[in-house]
Amino acid sequence: MYSEDHTRYVLLTNGANRTNWRFDRRTLILLSVIILPIVFFCGTYMTLFGVYEKTVYPITQTLNVPDQLVERSDKYGKFVNVVNTEKIGFLSHIKNISDYRQYKLVCYYNFPQNEIVQLKGENIDPNLCTHLNLAFVSVVNNTLNVENSQLNDIKRILLLKNVNKDLKILLSVGGAGDKNGWPEMVKNHTNRKSFIKSVMTFIKTYKIDGVDLDWEFPNINENSDKKQKQHFTQLLEEMFIAKRRQYLNFLITLAVAAPVNIVDFAYDIPYINEYVDFINLMSYDYHFYTKFTPFTGLNSPLYGSSNEASIFSSLNINYSVNYWNYKGMDKSKIVVGLPTYGHSFKLVNARNNGLYAPARGYGKLGSKGFIDFSQVCTFLALNHITPVFDLETKSPYASKYTEWISFDDAQSLSYKAEFIRDNHFGGAMVYSLNTDRTIKDFAYLQGKPIKNSL
């Protein structure tokens, strides 16, 4: 049997064949130099973005993100930049606290915006929360404006009290998308009186338990009336006095900002403390991709990181709640906000995937940078990802190639529940109940019922 080398020698016995072989070899080397980098680049690209497309970006139910959520996140981010010259799956974790019923569990429910399948108001578990905030109605012409579809939802949801008579149902007014009604309404006593009258009429007519005021935010726009902060406090005082005069026993609560720079501009905290039953602290959206903050960050960290400086060291729950308390709000009136969603980022460099890594936009997962827990669970499960749990901030995050997400899990929520209990705050607020697919998905991945978790 001839060897391969011998066969090659026999085939190249004449000079012409040897010359042709040398020429072909040079050609082959030249082609390899040209083609191999192209093949390598294409292969790498397909590996990162093509072959794994369905794994990295699984087809899940699209999160219908209200514009108001993006607007609030943008306000948080922009205000940090301007001022810086310095599902329900987890509800079971608060109920693990001993004597948890002394704490409030405030749940926001957004009125349906369309006919897409989602959690219907009448299907909410009436024993899940202590307080249910129906969001959002608007301020129009200095009065409460409730649309017919919203009123129908309210009537159905009020029937939940037949099952749980202790459930408190409140009407949430405003939200991040309600920009125009508040400034005009609070401007003078006459306008405020009209609004208060409309609120009290609605409460008496439909027998709801109170009103939750969510103005985002007084006094922070450059062209705003600088007395908005004072006028908003006057609104609360006048509403408080009016309900006492009429011997009405309804709740007055506020949804308030967490970043300290907004807090200083927007609220007279000692006076607010006198007139409200409690506040719902929006302690989420601390980090969200904007052109002012083009880097990754945690949506709702419990504590700050040692790597943070200046204003960024204050963007965490611990700092926010203690700042509100330091400024004059009773601890028992501070209800700590917990989001049922996370944020996604698109990394500049897949290898640089830690906290504060450069980002160049929203992630592909979710919508407009928002991801619900259903999408988080699918993303982690299909990609076999073990999240990174940051011990300093007590928060998880995860990444795959250029996709980076921040979210909460059972461990982070347990830390937050213990924090609320150990520091004697008023309870937890959940925003929001609407992503009902979260319940099944999160329960499946945790391997245990989730309804008894918070």
Provide the 10 A C-beta neighbour count for residue 284. 27
- Asked if 402 and 384 count as a contact pair (C-beta separation under 8 A), the reply is no
- Asked if 356 and 297 count as a contact pair (C-beta separation under 8 A), the reply is yes
CB neighbour class for 163 (10 Å; exposed up to 12, middle 13-18, buried from 19): exposed
- Asked if 81 and 292 count as a contact pair (C-beta separation under 8 A), the reply is yes
Tell me the sheet residues that pair with 256.
281
State the DSSP string of 19-40: HHHHHHHHHHHHHHHHHHHHHH
Give the residue numbers annotated as catalytic, written as ranges: 216
- Asked if 248 and 210 count as a contact pair (C-beta separation under 8 A), the reply is no
**Residues contacting residue 157 through CB under 8 Å, at least 6 positions apart:** 109, 121, 122, 124, 132, 134, 169
C-alpha 268, offset from chain centre: 26
**Residues contacting residue 174 through CB under 8 Å, at least 6 positions apart:** 136, 138, 139, 181, 182, 213, 214, 215, 216, 255
Q: Label residues 40-49 b or e (16+ Cβ within 10 Å = b).
A: eeeeeeeeee
Please report the beta strands in 95-198, taking only residues with DSSP state E, as ranges in sequence order. 104-110, 131-140, 143-145, 168-174
Rounded to the nearest 10°, the torsion over CA 109, 149, 278, 301 is: 30
Give, as one character, the DSSP assignment of residue 50: I
Tell me the sheet residues that pair with 334.
279
For strands 278-282 and 143-145, give the pairing: unpaired
Whole-number Å distance between alpha carbons of 57 and 375: 9
